[in-house]
Structure 1
């Protein structure tokens, strides 16, 4: 007599229909995340958190002067109290970093979401928060909000916000790709010049080829169920 089939919970059913493709330093990418990368889709928090973790743990592991702040943490920083933010920044050892890169979005709540990504880059040597927005400074308000929060928590009274001229997106969904490409370009630049001002703009072909490179990277890191 055949054994009765175990009934799966709704969570187990969801996991079966959306299997894990990669677990990288506690960042889990699933099939739905891979499908987002195949586009044309807006990048989610998980993909950006994964790439920031890759930059920190592998590509720039020897650079202790740069801090990468993932989307969920950045979003939280916009809304928590000064006391909580100070504790969070201390836990991240932010005071010892020369450069801090924040993955910023326009979400007006403390939870994941939003509709547009941009990059806010803090340079301690230049006493400046540089904002790189690929869509007409749409996130200018969010950048200002986060800057004032961090300035107060870190006692950076003389620091300023500087919107930067940068390559503009040619569609409605590649803002996250621009963010990732620009973050990488900035770190390559500060590794040489120890500043952000003067970093060049992205090339369109860099943005156009990034999704394919991300998929190949995931495969290289041991990703499963990924077709490139």
Structure 2
């Protein structure tokens, strides 16, 4: 594997191989590794000094669906999750414990608003999965009475850009809540932002010492 698919970039807890990076070059569905890398970047670079935000990588979100209560509590306690104002879950519709699935959406916990906001770029196709995850974690986060709020958001124009939409919405929301400490009132995401994001991600990988 290492010879035929060399590592492009190792960054904190993420590892991108060339096959992962190639997904950014064309009209391709993004895998766990790309989203995990970007969430590591947000955690360790862009918002490293903002303790109110917690970005949970997709593979961890996936495991949360199936952990027993003691494991889930230990994970959230380790990261002081109950003290975070906003938690971002990159959510896949995969119904198994391993990698897979066909659609990404974004679930964001807002402690100030006592609400889990769900952003889905393909209608409400991932609603059931997001509600299930919310019900799984809310007690451990001190959010037992939290509401679930599906949000209107920019819709994808094809069958493969859901991961890019999650990355762009995560950026968009993180910037907004850092300034206003709430999600209500969030302006819409511009389509041009989505169109430009793949090229921006490739530049970011190069700037961090990766190869594209």
The answer, yes or no, to whether TM exceeds 0.5 is yes
Number of aligned positions between the proteins: 212
| Shift in Å, 1:28 | 1.1
CA distance in 2, matches of 1:76, 1:153: 15
The residue aligned with 2:33 is 46
Q: Match for 2:170 among 183, 191, 201? A: 183
Q: CA RMSD in A?
A: 0.9
Q: Which moved more, 1:121-130 or 1:191-200?
A: 191-200
Tell whether the 8 Å contact from 1:86 to 1:154 is kept in structure 2 after alignment: no
Partner of 2:49: 62
Alignment of 1:26-41 (within 5 A): 26-41=13-28
Question: Of residues 125, 138, 147 in structure 1, which corresponds to 2:112?
Answer: 125
Deviation at residue 152 of structure 1 after TM alignment: 2.7
Q: Distance in 2 between matches of 1:155 and 1:130?
A: 16
Q: How far apart, CA to CA, are the structure 2 residues paired with 1:161 and 1:28?
A: 33
1:121: Cα distance to partner? 0.1
SS of the equivalent of 1:23 reads strand
Contact kept? 1:69, 1:102, Cα under 8 Å: yes
1:118 counterpart SS class: strand
Q: 1:26 Cα deviation (Å)?
A: 3.1
Unmatched 5+ stretches in structure 2: none
The superposition leaves residues 148-205 of structure 1 with CA deviations (integer Å, 9 ceiling, x where unpaired) of 0011333422101100000000000000000000001111001111011111121111
Q: Which runs of 5+ in 1 are unaligned?
A: 1-13
- 1:149 aligned residue (136, 143, 146): 136
TM superposition score normalised by structure 2: 0.97
C-alpha contact (below 8 Å) 1:75/1:105 kept by paired residues:
yes
TM-fit CA distance, 1:36: 0.7
State whether residues 177 and 207 of structure 1, in contact with CA within 8 Å, keep that contact through their aligned partners in structure 2. yes
1:106-159 Cα offsets, whole Å, 9 max, x none, are: 001122111000000000010000000000111000000000001133342210
Among candidates 165, 188, 198, match of residue 152 of structure 2:
165
Partner of 2:90: 103
Larger radius of gyration: 1
Hey, what does 1:24 align to over in structure 2?
11
Q: Secondary structure in 2 aligned to 1:149?
A: helix
Give the Cα separation in 1 of the matches to 2:81 and 2:130. 18
Deviating 4+ runs (over 4 angstroms): none
